[in-house]
Structure formats: C-alpha cells, structure tokens
C-alpha cells in the first residue's frame, strides 16, 4: 500500500513532512496558502493519518526504521522538489536530501534538530529517559499523553492559548497512529544523530525556528546553520515548536522568498 498523499495547487513541487505521532493535517491552513505558489504534496508518514495500515517492517534492533521510512517517502517523492519537514519530518528531509540530491533541490527545516536526545557532547536535547517514559505513556493512554505533548509543543509561545486548541482539533481529525508507527518513530528520535551528515548537504537549506522552542532547542538551529554549506536561519520571536501555526503568514512568505530562484 502506497503512502497517502494529498496534492493541491500548481507550480513547483513542494513536499510537506509532518512530525512524530502527527499527520499532514497538522499543517492547518498553511498548505492552502502555499498552494497559491506551489504544487503542494502533503504526505502522511507510514502508520500515521490516512497511511494506515501501511507499516511494512518490524520494529526490532536489527531494523533501521529510519531508513525504511525514508524509502517509503522516496516512492512518492516528485522529482525536482523542495522538501519542508517539521520536527522529525525535518530529519527525514535531511536524509532525503542526502540520498536523492538530484530529486531534492532545496530543503526547509522547521523546528528541526540533528539530535533530539541529549548526549555527552550535545547539550541541546531532551533526556533519553524522558522520551522513553513518554512513549510508555502513549501506549497506555494515547489521547491524554498526546494532549500533554501538544501542550509541551506550544510552551514558550505567546499565542499558546490560540494554537493549542487548534492543534488538538487538528490532531484528532485523523486516525490514531498505529502502535508500530509510534514505536518506530521513537526509535528514530532516540537513535538519530545527524550532526556529522550536515556538511554533506549540497542543497540550499532554510531553517525556520521559534526562539522559545523547548523540544528542538534554538541553539541547535544556530549550530546547524553553521554546518550547512548554504543555509539561512529565520528565528521567530516569542514562538514555540509550531511556527507555521503561530506565524502562518511569515512562514509562507519565507518559503516563497527562499524558493523564488527555484521557480
């Protein structure tokens, strides 16, 4: 079964990849705004949203679930596209840019970090035990745990009172992710450390980040910018982990500006 892809608009191809435990409906109204400039492709990752049942692999220690997920996206990736990834979707965008340099012309990394996990030589991450505990709570009570996760995502944003209800509404408009999908996503979040790969990205990169993001630290975004061969960082003030909902106009305007020469 192929991944669910919704396409709208006309123009250069722009692919949107959502984050862990989410679906492509989380982009809200932004795709409609982007569709005035692009042919927008919204992809539900394996086991998420409308891409169910569509998990073709077991989540075991010997399985590179990140590579498997990238392979599934490659199957539906239009040639010569720009990829915009949010959070975990941004990490997938990095992997796709490395794997498919002829097909991926530019990347937009939204609230992305090379490592979500704190490591000995990486301070801008979350504690591994915290992420594992979150995953266990997801298995027990998906609805309550996801509501808490959404609250964490809007922390630090000046418009949390507006964005949080919108995120809750959007999240539950589609099916709950498959348990295997959540486990696979967790494996990617825990294992991914893309720091050494960033210098190999040849495509131009635009980083859009909230200065108060408590999931993908803003310091991580600043560090990433220095690693890319060609990168620009847009840091949005008083903004959390979901800049496309907090500042949809600025979000769209920056992508349009960044891709002007691509057109």
Active-site position among 87, 115, 240, 246: 87
Query: For the whole model, what pTM was predicted?
Result: 0.94
CA distances in angstroms from 216 to 102, 110, 202, listed in the order given: 28, 10, 23
**How far is residue 64's CA from residue 62's CA, in Å, rounded to a whole number?**
7
**Is there a catalytic annotation at residue 87?**
yes
What are the tens digits of pLDDT across the range 243-260?
999 999 999 999 999 998
What are the tens digits of pLDDT across the range 147-182?
888 999 999 888 899 999 999 999 988 887 877 788
Active-site position among 18, 41, 48, 241: 241
| Among 5, 10, 19, 39, CA closest to 177 | 19
Domains of the chain and CATH, by start? 5-258 (3.40.50.1820)
What are the tens digits of pLDDT across the range 191-236?
899 999 999 999 999 999 999 999 999 999 999 999 999 999 999 9
**Is there a catalytic annotation at residue 41?**
no
What are the tens digits of pLDDT across the range 80-131?
999 999 999 999 999 999 999 999 999 999 999 999 999 999 999 999 888 8
Q: Chain-centre distance of CA 243, in angstroms?
A: 12
| Among 130, 92, 135, CA closest to 214 | 130
Active-site position among 13, 41, 213, 246: 213
Q: Where are the alpha helices (DSSP H) in 127-217?
A: 128-140, 142-154, 160-171, 179-191
């Amino acid at each position: 079964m192929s991944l669910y892809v919704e396409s709208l608009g006309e123009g250069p191809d722009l692919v949107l990849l959502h984050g862990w435990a989410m679906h492509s409906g989380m982009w809200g109204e932004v795709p409609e705004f982007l569709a005035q400039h692009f042919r927008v492709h919204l992809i539900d990752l394996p086991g998420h949203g409308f891409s169910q049942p569509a998990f073709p692999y077991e989540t075991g220690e010997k399985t590179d679930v990140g590579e498997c997920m990238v392979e599934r996206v490659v199957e539906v990736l239009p040639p010569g596209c720009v990829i915009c990834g949010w959070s975990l979707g941004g990490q997938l965008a990095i992997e796709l840019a490395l794997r498919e340099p002829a097909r991926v012309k530019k990347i937009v990394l939204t609230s992305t970090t090379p490592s979500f996990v704190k490591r000995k030589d990486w301070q801008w991450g979350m504690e591994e035990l915290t992420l594992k505990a979150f995953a266990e709570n997801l298995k027990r009570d998906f609805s309550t745990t996801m509501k808490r996760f959404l609250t964490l995502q809007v922390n630090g944003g000046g418009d949390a009172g507006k964005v949080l209800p919108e995120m809750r509404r959007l999240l539950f408009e589609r099916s709950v992710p498959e348990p295997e999908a959540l486990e696979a996503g967790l494996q990617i979040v825990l294992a991914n450390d893309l720091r050494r790969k960033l210098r190999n990205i040849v495509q131009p990169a635009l980083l859009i980040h909230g200065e108060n993001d408590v999931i993908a630290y803003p310091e991580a975004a600043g560090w990433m910018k220095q690693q890319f061969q060609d990168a620009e960082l847009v840091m949005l003030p008083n903004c959390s982990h979901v800049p496309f909902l907090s500042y949809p106009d600025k979000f769209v305007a920056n992508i349009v500006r960044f891709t002007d020469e691509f057109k």
